[in-house]
Amino acid sequence: MGSNQSWVTEFVLVGFELSADLEVLLLWVFSLFYIFSLLANGVILGLICLDPSLHTPMYFFLSHLSIIDMSYASSNVPKMLANLVNHNRTVSFVPCIMQTFLYLGFAATECLLLVVMSYDRFVAICHPLHYTVIMNWRVCMVLAVSSWSCGFILALVHAILLLRLPFCGPRKVNHLFCEILSVLKLACADTWINQVVILAASVFVLVGPLCLMLVSYMRIVWAILKIQSKEGGTKAFSTCSSHLCVVGLFFGIAMVVYMVPDSNQQEEQEKILSLFHSLFNPMLNPLIYSLRNAQVKGALYRALQKKRPM
């Protein structure tokens, strides 16, 4: 680089290019969705903490999922909402990299946690007599801590590789937030190392876990078909189907965004998918688990009964 080269100190988030009236409408709609997401996940987390009947490994992992979903949405949605009303859509370099780090960290952690939850259901249904021995609290803690640690170590690797790149050219990030693939397009150096690491990380946290979950659920379906009790089979299928809904939404969108070859025509579609990933998926998770889970609905009913005056 020449000595007179200027370096980018802030980026401009392009977002959606919409009319002012439509941006105001989206601000209200997305704000309601975001608030509902925080409240719904907060209720799930509160019920799991307060109701002794939910102090089991399955709901222990579900409480971590609620924490991740609240943090995941909060890492980028507030900035998206601010950009809908603020025409000065700039973000400084360090906060941009921090947003990328948090987004990737929470996303990778959720991928690994969903694998752990599928393993928990596999043990519960395929090895019910040994469930309390295999899934003891020490094992649960190790699995949870490992998921968080691996997720944020991967995110840290991405952030370090991103910090080593020079940014001296255009500063417009064609996305709703500082998404790593959009930021990499602005680098003034070869990003092949970053691309290779992103692909390897995608295989590690998306393809590998998805294959493990498919194997687990094939075993689970086979075990459910052999259950003699109709009630037991229905309960097992209901629990697993709710988890499969979450897995399908989360992994499906992530694989489209990070593993499908990039093209200029896909940029607007990727913005919508990222919005769904950041806003709607954390909102849908508690709905899926609460509406399809009798134990959560029972805990909510008991909590409301306690609050009702005598």
Q: What is the pLDDT of residue 167?
A: 86
Q: What is the pLDDT of residue 234?
A: 66
| DSSP type of residue 207 | I
Pairing, β 10-13 against β 172-173? parallel
The sign one gets for the Cα dihedral 240, 243, 249, 251 is negative
Low-confidence residues of the chain: pLDDT under 50: 1-5, 310
Percent of the chain with pLDDT over 70: 87
Tokens of 63: 């409480």
pLDDT tens digits, one per residue of 259-285 = 766 655 566 677 777 777 788 888 888
Q: What is the pLDDT of residue 266?
A: 65
CA distance 268 to 276: 13
Percent of the chain with pLDDT over 90: 28
Q: What is the pLDDT of residue 144?
A: 96
Q: What is the pLDDT of residue 282?
A: 85
CA distance 20 to 263: 28
Q: What is the pLDDT of residue 262?
A: 63
Q: Which residue from 215, 201, 218, 242 is spatially nearest to 111, judged by alpha carbons?
A: 201
CA distance 13 to 10: 10
232: number of Cβ within 10 Å: 13
Q: What is the pLDDT of residue 275?
A: 79
CB contact at 8 A, 299 and 55:
no
Q: What is the pLDDT of residue 141?
A: 96
Q: What is the pLDDT of residue 309?
A: 57
CA distance 31 to 256: 26
Q: What is the pLDDT of residue 308?
A: 60
Q: What is the pLDDT of residue 232?
A: 59
pLDDT tens digits, one per residue of 135-146 = 999 999 999 999
Q: What is the pLDDT of residue 5?
A: 46
CA distance 241 to 15: 35
91 strand-pairing partners: 11
What mean pLDDT value characterizes the chain? 83
Whole-prediction pTM value?
A: 0.86
